Amino acid sequence: MTVSVRRRVGVGEEVYGMPTFAAIDIGSNSCRLAIASVQAHKLKVLHEDREVTRLGESVFEAGVISPEAMANTIKALKRFHKAVQAHVVDRVRVVATSAMRDARNSEAFRAWVKSTTGWNVEVISGLEEGRLIHLGVITHEPGAKGKVLVIDLGGGSCEVTFSEGGRIREMVSLPLGAVRLQQEFLRNDPPTKEDVARLRKYIDRELRRGGRRLGVPKVGLVIASSGTAAALAEASEALRNAAIKPGKVKAARAKVQGIPGKRSGRVLLADTVGVRKIADRLLKLNNAQRAAVPGIGPRRSEIITGGAQVYAMLLERMGLKGFRYTPLGLRDGMLAEMLGNADIRASVHRTMEAERWEGVLQVCRRYGVDPKKMEPEREHALQLFKQLLPVHGLPEEYKPWLEAAAMMQGVGKFMNHQGHHRHTQYIIANSEVFGFSPEQRAIVAAIARYLGKSRPEPMDRPMRMVPVEEHAHVTRAIVLLRLAAALNQDQASAPVRLRTKIYPKRVVLELLPGRGGAALEAWSLKKEAAYFREIFRRELLVEVV
| CATH at residue 440 | 1.10.3210.10
> In the beta sheet, which residues pair with residue 95?
25, 122
Which pLDDT score, from 0 to 100, does residue 182 have?
93
Which pLDDT score, from 0 to 100, does residue 434 have?
82
Q: Residue 491 pLDDT more than 90?
A: no
User: Which has more confidence, 8 or 394?
Assistant: 394
Is there a domain that residue 340 lies in? Answer: no
pLDDT, mean of residues 180-188:
92
Residue 118 sits in the same domain as residue 167 = no
**234 burial level (CB within 10 Å; 0-12, 13-18, 19+):** buried
Distances in Å between the Cα of 210 and the Cα atoms of 176, 216, 226 are: 11, 11, 20
Q: Residue 418 pLDDT more than 90?
A: no
Residue 263 sits in the same domain as residue 377 = no
Evaluate the omega torsion of the peptide bond into residue 371 and state whether it is cis, within 30 degrees of 0.
Answer: no
pLDDT, mean of residues 488-516:
86
Residue 204 confidence class, pLDDT cut points 50, 70, 90: very high
- 173, 125 in Cβ contact below 8 A? yes
Residue 371 sits in the same domain as residue 272 = no
Q: Residue 15 pLDDT more than 80?
A: no
Among the candidates 327, 354, 389, a domain finishes at 327
Distances in Å between the Cα of 61 and the Cα atoms of 189, 197, 299, 522 are: 17, 20, 19, 63
Residue 95 sits in the same domain as residue 192 = no
pLDDT, mean of residues 517-534:
93
> In the beta sheet, which residues pair with residue 8?
14
pTM for this entry: 0.81
Question: For the chain, what is the domain count?
Answer: 3
Q: Residue 7 pLDDT more than 80?
A: no
Residue 150 sits in the same domain as residue 296 = yes
Is there a domain that residue 517 lies in? Answer: no
Residue 169 sits in the same domain as residue 100 = no
- 390, 503 in Cβ contact below 8 A? no
Q: Residue 11 pLDDT more than 60?
A: no
Residue 155 sits in the same domain as residue 198 = yes
What percent of the chain has pLDDT above 90? 72
Which pLDDT score, from 0 to 100, does residue 243 have?
60
Residue 169 sits in the same domain as residue 199 = yes
Residue 274 sits in the same domain as residue 305 = yes
Which pLDDT score, from 0 to 100, does residue 41 have?
87
Among the candidates 327, 362, 388, a domain finishes at 327
Mean residue pLDDT across the chain: 89
Which pLDDT score, from 0 to 100, does residue 81 have?
97
Q: Residue 261 pLDDT more than 90?
A: no
pLDDT, mean of residues 438-454:
92
Residue 43 sits in the same domain as residue 114 = yes
Residue 258 confidence class, pLDDT cut points 50, 70, 90: very low
Is there a domain that residue 516 lies in? Answer: no
pLDDT, mean of residues 108-131:
94
d(C-alpha 282, C-alpha 293), whole Å = 9
Which pLDDT score, from 0 to 100, does residue 250 have?
45
Which pLDDT score, from 0 to 100, does residue 527 have?
95
Q: Residue 37 pLDDT more than 90?
A: yes
Residue 392 confidence class, pLDDT cut points 50, 70, 90: very high
Is there a domain that residue 137 lies in? Answer: no
Residue 113 sits in the same domain as residue 188 = no
The parent domain of residue 284 ranges over: 142-327
Which pLDDT score, from 0 to 100, does residue 452 have?
84
3-class SS letters over 287-320: HHHHHCCCCCHHHHCCCHHHHHHHHHHHHHHCCC
Which pLDDT score, from 0 to 100, does residue 492 have?
58
Is there a domain that residue 136 lies in? Answer: no
Which pLDDT score, from 0 to 100, does residue 109 have?
96
Residue 265 confidence class, pLDDT cut points 50, 70, 90: low
Which pLDDT score, from 0 to 100, does residue 255 have?
39
Kindly report the CATH number assigned to the domain that includes residue 264: 3.30.420.150
H/E element, 13: strand 13-17
Kindly report the CATH number assigned to the domain that includes residue 30: 3.30.420.40
Q: Residue 177 pLDDT more than 70?
A: yes
Is there a domain that residue 498 lies in? Answer: no
Is there a domain that residue 202 lies in? Answer: yes
User: Which has more confidence, 476 or 397?
Assistant: 476
Alpha carbon 169 to chain centroid, angstroms: 15
**Nearest residue to 517 via CA among 484, 493, 499, 491:** 493
pLDDT, mean of residues 325-338:
94
- 378, 407 in Cβ contact below 8 A? yes
Q: Residue 16 pLDDT more than 60?
A: no
Which pLDDT score, from 0 to 100, does residue 464 have?
94
Is there a domain that residue 158 lies in? Answer: yes
Which pLDDT score, from 0 to 100, does residue 414 have?
93
Which pLDDT score, from 0 to 100, does residue 246 have?
42
- 338, 23 in Cβ contact below 8 A? yes
Among the candidates 75, 96, 123, a domain finishes at 123
Q: What is the pLDDT of residues 293-315, one digit of tens each?
A: 988 988 899 999 999 999 999 99
Q: Of 77-86, 131-140, 335-344, which one has max mean pLDDT?
A: 77-86
Residue 75 confidence class, pLDDT cut points 50, 70, 90: very high
Residue 379 sits in the same domain as residue 311 = no
- 157, 128 in Cβ contact below 8 A? no
Which pLDDT score, from 0 to 100, does residue 17 have?
54
Lowest mean pLDDT among 62-71, 257-266, 425-434: 257-266
Q: Of 57-61, 149-153, 232-236, 486-490, which one has max mean pLDDT?
A: 149-153
Residue 143 confidence class, pLDDT cut points 50, 70, 90: confident
pLDDT, mean of residues 193-221:
93
Q: Residue 253 pLDDT more than 70?
A: no
